[in-house]
Amino acid sequence: MKFPQSLKNFSIFIGLVLVVLVVRYNYTTLPVSSEEIALVNDTNNFAKAGFELGEETGITPEIDILAQAAGAFSEGGKEVFGWETNKRWPIASLTKLMTAVIALEHMDTNQIAIMSPEAMAIESPSGGFSLGGKYRINDLIRAMLLVSSNDAAEQIALTFGRDEFIKAMNGKALELGMTETNFIDPTGLSARNQSTINDLVRLTEYIRLFRPEMLATTKKTSGTITEVKTGKRRTLNNINPLASGKDFIGGKTGSTPEAGGNLISVFNIGGGPKIIIILGADDKFAETTKVKNSLWQ
């Protein structure tokens, strides 16, 4: 029997709610202030709108996109603009959004992780970690979200159990209806970590509704992490230049030679939250600004 699309969308939404009701009762969150969470929640009417991938009526923009794929979405994941939205593409460090979700929902974020040789040997490390350094999981998550730390992402997975962690990432993707998404590592370094615009908007909406502390973290221009053994604190500056924008709610950058430039951005514009996703661009920030200004400025 073929069910109406609206019934399918409603079922997906109910499924998301049930999943989150379970994890909210059992796991801790990133330490951000209630005011910072409010900045995200004030734009969040997802629960009223439901989650429905579809076109926004009355808007047929023509935008010359210099990217492999792009999409812009309004409340509830409704497509305002799309270019190759079902094209699978390497997502690079956008992967770390799912890594953070799994860490928040399956780990004690106060747990201490010791930076291992395996994590320290990862390609393109960032965050200033050193072998044997001790950090709480929430600080490793912060390093992932602010400076896209590969060594932090790898250590989170290793602390949990790497194979099981990646299995959980793929399982979560299926729960969210991300049927064209695959993860094989927690960093995004592999070109086999792939997704589509339509799948990534599902992940972004889930984060916006149920993990707003992640967006609140990515909105900050900087954050502090602490090495537990010495008590030494270190400031990490956000590598996303959009973080200083007044209408920026949060997002994540990503790039590898195979993927090009990828960027997920959530803005509070045009009367509510808007999501812009760019994959495979030479200048992901310019393409995001082009879409934003074409649709809502």
pLDDT digits (tens, 9 = 90+) for 62-71: 789 999 999 9
Catalytic residue among 2, 8, 78, 93: 93
Show me where the domains of the chain are located: 5-296
Find the range with the poorest average confidence among 19-33, 66-80, 141-155.
19-33
Does residue 290 carry a catalytic annotation? no
Residues 210-261: tens digit of each pLDDT: 999 999 999 999 999 999 999 999 999 999 999 989 999 999 999 999 999 9
Question: Regarding predicted confidence, which is higher, 272 or 39?
Answer: 272
Residues 74-106: tens digit of each pLDDT: 978 889 999 999 999 999 999 999 999 999 999
- Confirm whether residue 252 is marked as ligand binding: yes
Catalytic residue among 148, 149, 255, 265: 148
Does residue 148 carry a catalytic annotation? yes
Distances in Å between the alpha carbon of 249 and those of 104, 269, 273? 20, 10, 8
pTM, full prediction: 0.82
Residues 162-204: tens digit of each pLDDT: 999 999 999 999 999 999 999 999 999 999 999 999 999 999 9
Q: Are strands 89-90 and 233-237 parallel, antiparallel or unpaired?
A: unpaired
With a cut of 80, say whether residue 143 has pLDDT above it: yes
Tell me: domain 5-296, CATH 3.30.360.10, correct?
A: no
Catalytic residue among 96, 219, 220, 274: 96
